[in-house]
Chains A and B, each alone.
Chain A
Amino acid sequence: MDLEIFWFGLLGILAAGYAVLDGFDLGVGILHPLVKDDTERRIVINSIGPLWDGNEVWLVTFGGALFAAFPEAYATFFSAFYLPVMILLFGLIGRAVSIEFRSKQKSRFWRSYWDHSFAFSSLMVVFLFGVAAGNAIEGIPLGADHEFAGGLFDLVRPYPLAVGAFAVVTSAMHGALYLHLKTEDALQARVASWRWPLFGAFLVGLVGITVATLVRNPEALRNFERYPAAWAVVLLTTLAVANIPRGIAKAKPGQAFLSSGGTIIGLVFNFGMALYPNLVVSSLDPAYSLTIRNASSSQATLALMRNIAFLGLPFVLTYTAIVYWVFRGKTKLDDHSY
């Protein structure tokens, strides 16, 4: 087995798992201010209450796996994006404590403060992930020593910013489809009315980003030429996108949500195809790029970590299934709710 390719794939699975799972709870956070009544806001928060923390572990594990499998890429990427990563961390901290602290006092000021903090940090986190993905596709100035040779403003460019905005819209749509499953009555009716505009915005963004990627970074297609079978995934992604409006229109909200999850997995796959075999592209000289070959750990460690992953993943999937099963159905408030 080619271990570098295996680990590239496994990181892709972790990234896709994170994007699908944390994607909906971050999306719920972005939509949170649209709900006004305190009880309804509590239902919105509690719809993700037991789940967001476990979803975020996908990110933490992604970080650890990147560190273990491709330490050069981990070191370069996070030091290059120093300030954006710090803001991302503040966003993740802000979201966690907003959810936890909001319910602990009844005062209006207290709750309204944490509501804003929750929404803003959720939006910030999603946006920054999008910007990071955009920069990964476009490449950043890396020197021969694999160290970042640019400044903050080399990262703030139109294409990455556009990908950031697209990530926000996608996550909001995914969150609305989730929230529709977890709510009832008047609240659910309002959530239902958001779905069409969000899907419309997502579709515009999808077309725009696809065109922009092909125009600005035609390199992104090279792997599709080498491996034509990958077009099958593009086809499946398109079908998943098309099934979202079908699910909404035919009153099959479960299908709509699963389809948006499938869409996100497809987008992460396309992102991986656009990147492979690079991990961090150097905009100065392709020879300076970090690839799965020059950035990886030793073969022995990659093999060892593969075994650890095979040992651990069945457990991870079991816990995830148990928790989602226990907290299935409509969100109800009780003594232990936020």
Chain B
Amino acid sequence: MDLDPVTLSRAQFALTVMFHYLFPPLSIGLGAILVLLEGTYLKTRDRRYEAAARFFTKLFAVNFAVGVATGIVMEFQFGTNWSTYSRFVGDVFGSALAAEGIFAFFLESGFLAVLVFGWDRVGPKMHFFSTLMVFLGSTFSAVWIVIANSWQQTPAGFHLVGEGAAMRAEITDFWAMIFNPSSMHRLNHVILGSLVQGAFFVMSIAAFYLLKKRHEDFAKRSFTVALVMGAVASVAILISGHAQANAVAVNQPAKLAAFEGHFETGEGGAPLYLFGWPDAEAQEVKAGVAIPGGLSFLIHGDFDTPVDGLDTIPDDEEPPVAVPFVTYHLMVALGMFFIGVTLLGLFLRWRGTLWEKRWLLKVFVVAVIAPYVANQTGWVAAEVGRQPWVVYGLLRTEDAVSPSVPGEHILTSIVLFSLIYLALGALWLVVMNHKIQHGPEDPDDLPPDGGDGESQLEVAADVRDRASHHRLAEGDEPEGAGA
């Protein structure tokens, strides 16, 4: 059997990064929900919000742990499987990873301890601060890793030294490297995708309780907070996606052509396929429905200007089309679904009839799968669409692997990763389900506010704050309080 190290290393990277990426978006999105819930609690002193935050913290902790465990693999896999790549990009990519460690991981892991275990050890303000820091830490982590990946898509702020196998990129302009042409677009998109993930996760659980008529007060409050966040993020992500696609058209035209199955530049406007199947042999999209000139309109603002197709790209630099086309279209379709279902939910919530629409609640229970699929397919489109390059225009994926690692070793690790990740995924589901079935605690059963004896001062301060907040709250209805 011929074991090709390039194919195997790509398969292993896809497996480990896709499995890992099931968890961080939820950590960021659910982290945002925790900040909102605890913030509302601090403002209103309504302990039902505290109970909700405590409940979601337990789910957050399980998710975070699996995210950390699978994330550490990524830190070392560049060196194990992609040593040529690591030599080439170390100056740039390594710097971003190191910054992620110093600025993000210490922040989130430190305060995670207080968030998860500190409920009865620190006062509510310190706890809220810790939650905020964990959310910030996980967001910073996204910032650095997206910057590093974006540099691979649109390299900037560097020069090349050395030749042949010894060639490598060195930073010449740090800020140009950080703000490379795609980093901010992609960062927005990743963060918003995470917020959608967190919102749909909470709405799924809340809808499940509402259908079962359990914890209804808790469910309505949590659902409302998540619905508002989900609707805002869903609309914003459409705008962010559009801006990003326009940037891809300029920076990586081959990738955009692959996304859209745009084989021939042709005369006049390029069509926008709503769906279809790209046939690379025949160089056309089969069984598709398209808006004539639609792609030209999105990119150029009119229906008649041609858009560069794959025929403008040298054959040995063309990305595959089928995978980017399908994953990209699936992601866009799911994005439309997020907007539709959250706006409908908001409208019914405003009308006051949302809780009676059992069919819609059922949709929300299963809809949590959709952002998982959208986050995964978006990344697949982005990464496969970059091929055959690992660093766009500079280093080919096939040249980037570790020359000293035999295929048999990689196959061994793939098999082991598959087994371990299968078990981890199953356990994650079992444990999450167990916690969700158990449900939140009754707010009346919570331990008394204010942590242990050392935070007496803080308790006193809280009492004063509570009094002033009561006055504030009379005029100013806090978010979700009417649920």
Which A positions have Cβ atoms within 8 angstroms of B? 49-51, 53-54, 56-57, 59-61, 63-72, 74-83, 85-86, 89-90, 92-93, 96-97, 99-101, 104-105, 145, 147-149, 297-298, 300-301, 304-305, 308-309, 312-313, 315-316, 319-320, 322-323, 326-327, 334-337
Contacts and interface: CB of A to CB of B under 8 A. Distances in A.
A53 to B, nearest CB: 5
A336 B119 contact: yes
B111 interface: yes
B70 interface: yes
A54 B431 contact: no
Given A50-B113, A326-B121, A79 B76 contact: no
B7 interface: no
Interface string B163-174: 001001011101
A284 to B, nearest CB: 13
A145 B165 contact: yes
Given A60-B105, A64-B97, A300-B170, A327 B117 contact: yes
Contacts of A68: 90-91, 94-95, 97-98
Contacts of A75: 79, 83-84, 86-87, 90, 402
Contacts, number: 235
A178 to B, nearest CB: 16
B69 interface: yes
7 contacts: A51-B113, A67-B90, A67-B94, A82-B80, A104-B431, A145-B403, A301-B91
A304 B171 contact: yes
Interface string B59-92: 0011001101110110110111101101101111
B265 interface: no
Contact of A322 (B91, B110, B405): B110
Interface string B87-123: 1011111110111111101110111111011111110
B289 interface: no
Given A79-B402, A89-B73, A93-B69, A309 B91 contact: no
Given A147-B403, A304-B171, A315 B86 contact: no
B428 to A, nearest CB: 9
Contacts of A100: 61-62, 65-66, 431
A101 B99 CA distance: 30
Nearest to A103: B431
A90 B414 CA distance: 12
B151 to A, nearest CB: 13
Contacts of A65: 98, 101
A53 B113 contact: yes
A60 B83 contact: no
A186 B116 CA distance: 28
A77 B76 CA distance: 10
Nearest to A297: B91
B434 interface: yes
A335 B435 CA distance: 13
Contacts of A304: 95, 171, 174
Contacts of A59: 72
B165 A61 contact: no
B75 A64 contact: yes
Given A82-B405, A308-B102, A337-B117, 16 more contacts: A54-B110, A68-B94, A74-B79, A75-B87, A82-B80, A93-B420, A96-B68, A100-B61, A147-B403, A298-B170, A298-B171, A304-B95, A304-B174, A313-B102, A322-B110, A322-B114
Contact of B402 (A82, A96, A337): A82
B72 A53 contact: no
B40 to A, nearest CB: 21
Contacts of A312: 99, 102-103, 106
